[in-house]
Chains A and B, each alone.
Chain A
């Protein structure tokens, strides 16, 4: 498969502090890649290396098949976690300046800015100063500046912090559109639930190490425990029925404050084979819910970290 970014055994230390140890990642083209992990895990260190703000002590990075070098900076768009703009500079002037620093000509930058300002309905902000805008408004400008030079790779560090829900949705839609147009996108966040639905691939970073990476769907498949959420409508004595079911299956929890004639419980099966239990359940009552509980990225993260630490 074609990759926009490949990192091989990348390490970085600051004095005695290890920020990244031996990280290897492959980020496919035209997908949304989630770089997940708690604060201080090393996500931002890795991103700064991609942006060539700092350099790795060891290891190699390839951008689009080539060794990462300063010429690639113009093909990367980066929205840092610590972001802001010059407070006393006018919006338009500032956006032009930042676009030109990314290598756009003044003319191109102006054209594209006009397009984006209209698209996000902020055309009349051109001559305002940043200090006159609200935080959410400034974030919109920040987003435009990040994507203006049409980079091949977009990196968002904690993208939705600071956005109100409405603006967050607008930005989310814009990002999805960019992905459709062929851009590769990296999301880095410690709030895993916020990007889970968007990411096709994820990598989990913990204490400077990568502990897991791959396609999100595959990971979830690998991490599911054959636990099912069951809702059953019964006519008989529910307590007795519960007991008999517990003898045959591994019932994890049951809702004892059940409604009249309802059984709610979780069950773990020895395999993903569901035929037996379905037959059994449909024989005793009316099955109205049978859901596989899929672990969230957060659950997977916690489980992997626990496994790893117990393993040591």
Chain B
């Protein structure tokens, strides 16, 4: 009997692995992923290199020291030129724009009469930068009128950041929860994609056996349950093969690309963090070196071993549950177009898990919603993984929750696989009918 199961697994595996579109996907995907990363890195680099130059024609007595160059913006002072001459030379030098600050008595008056001349519509980050320079000056000017000295003003303007610490007294840093949840979310997302893609493989494979009418020939030799199990295992092995190939070839390709093109990936990762505004304000002030160290330390402190082992546990259990449902659906219908009405309810809990994960686990990894969904078997593979980067035990997921969720998954798997097997057993011999949910329930009692 075990022997037959082995034969089925082998056939399913080979049938999948030899499939042309599977091979194409396996080869193409790493190229696509690496291509994307290279493209992003390249674009980031271009972005980096482009420093916009603004020429400044300052006829006033203010704003003498204010225009300091930054990474993306530098300034050239033009002296003793008329406005038209300044415009011409700015154009001739192909600068980004000309800032004209006219003569005036007060900062207020000068600022109101200032113009930025550009070729087209100016980039909003440029105007924002310039506006902030003027705003600061105006604020200082107005406060001075109220009797605040410039020393006092710089005191007022001094940036402030709240200090963070854990109860243990360790200094903690902002955004680390989000980073952890993000890493867990990545794993959870990978599980969801895997379930949807490879569950679909199982379903199509069942439908293929039905439409090619080989099913009755096979189940006169083996039990339907064996065939279903063999199919699920064979397809998941094919999926794991693909995953492994992807990871290995993508990392090889990536390191090749880095070596050949010399793209600085760490620069890129710094850049991609920038737009993530809501990430606890990290982007507003570049973290100091000591903070950087702490982030690195925290990320290294994430229990990667536990994370990877649990990834496999949750992946296997979650996949087994969902792919048995997929197999039952495949058995119930005659062709793929009929599967829609049944697939939606399966994807729903997966989507829910992802959304709950991103909205609830991020803000509160151990709140009641996060705990509830990380125990509920249809969502736990994804939600629990999002919680796990905090570790198991103290400060992380309590051990009992971890064990309970695995226990619930196993019980659910046994329940679902036996229900699925019943539907499968009846469904594979039914032709030409598009069953309703009511009929599926009836099949359970046959």
- List A70-112 residues whose CB lies under 8 Å from chain B: 73, 76, 78, 80, 82-89, 97-98, 100-102
Q: Is B40 an interface residue (CB 8 A)?
A: no
Whether A97 and B214, one on each chain, are in contact in the complex, defined by CB atoms closer than 8 angstroms, is: no
Which residues from chain A contact B274 at a C-beta distance below 8 Å? none
Q: Is B213 an interface residue (CB 8 A)?
A: yes
- List B358-416 residues whose CB lies under 8 Å from chain A: none
Question: Given that A15-B442, A89-B15 are contacting pairs, would A98 and B216 also be in contact in the complex, using a CB cutoff of 8 Å?
Answer: no
Which residues from chain A contact B446 at a C-beta distance below 8 Å? 14-15
Q: Is B212 an interface residue (CB 8 A)?
A: yes
Q: Is A240 an interface residue (CB 8 A)?
A: no
Which residues from chain B contact A76 at a C-beta distance below 8 Å? 220
B interface footprint on A194-206 (CB within 8 Å = 1, 0 otherwise): 0000000000000
Whether B220 and A82, one on each chain, are in contact in the complex, defined by CB atoms closer than 8 angstroms, is: no
- List B185-223 residues whose CB lies under 8 Å from chain A: 208-209, 212-214, 216-222
Nearest A residue to B218 via CB reads A101
Which residues from chain B contact A80 at a C-beta distance below 8 Å? 213, 216-217, 220
Question: Given that A86-B15, A101-B4, A101-B221 are contacting pairs, would A15 and B445 also be in contact in the complex, using a CB cutoff of 8 Å?
Answer: yes
Q: In whole angstroms, what is the CA distance A76 to B221 when docked?
A: 9
Q: In whole angstroms, what is the CA distance A275 to B423 when docked?
A: 66
Nearest A residue to B445 via CB reads A15
Nearest B residue to A89 via CB reads B15
Q: Is B308 an interface residue (CB 8 A)?
A: no
Q: In whole angstroms, what is the CA distance A83 to B213 when docked?
A: 5
Main SS of chain B's interface residues? helix
Which residues from chain A contact B212 at a C-beta distance below 8 Å? 84-87
Q: Is B429 an interface residue (CB 8 A)?
A: yes
Whether B216 and A101, one on each chain, are in contact in the complex, defined by CB atoms closer than 8 angstroms, is: no
Nearest B residue to A142 via CB reads B217
Q: Is B115 an interface residue (CB 8 A)?
A: no
Q: In whole angstroms, what is the CA distance A51 to B4 when docked?
A: 17
Nearest A residue to B212 via CB reads A84
Whether A53 and B7, one on each chain, are in contact in the complex, defined by CB atoms closer than 8 angstroms, is: no
Question: Given that A15-B445, A83-B213, A84-B213 are contacting pairs, would A97 and B7 also be in contact in the complex, using a CB cutoff of 8 Å?
Answer: yes
Which residues from chain A contact B216 at a C-beta distance below 8 Å? 53, 78, 80, 82-83
Which residues from chain B contact A14 at a C-beta distance below 8 Å? 446
Which residues from chain B contact A101 at a C-beta distance below 8 Å? 4, 7-8, 218, 221-222
- List B213-253 residues whose CB lies under 8 Å from chain A: 213-214, 216-222, 224
Whether A86 and B7, one on each chain, are in contact in the complex, defined by CB atoms closer than 8 angstroms, is: no
Q: Is A145 an interface residue (CB 8 A)?
A: yes
A-B contact pairs, 19 of them (CB 8 A): A14-B446, A48-B429, A53-B224, A53-B429, A73-B220, A80-B216, A80-B217, A80-B220, A82-B216, A83-B213, A83-B216, A85-B217, A86-B208, A97-B11, A98-B218, A100-B7, A101-B218, A101-B222, A145-B217
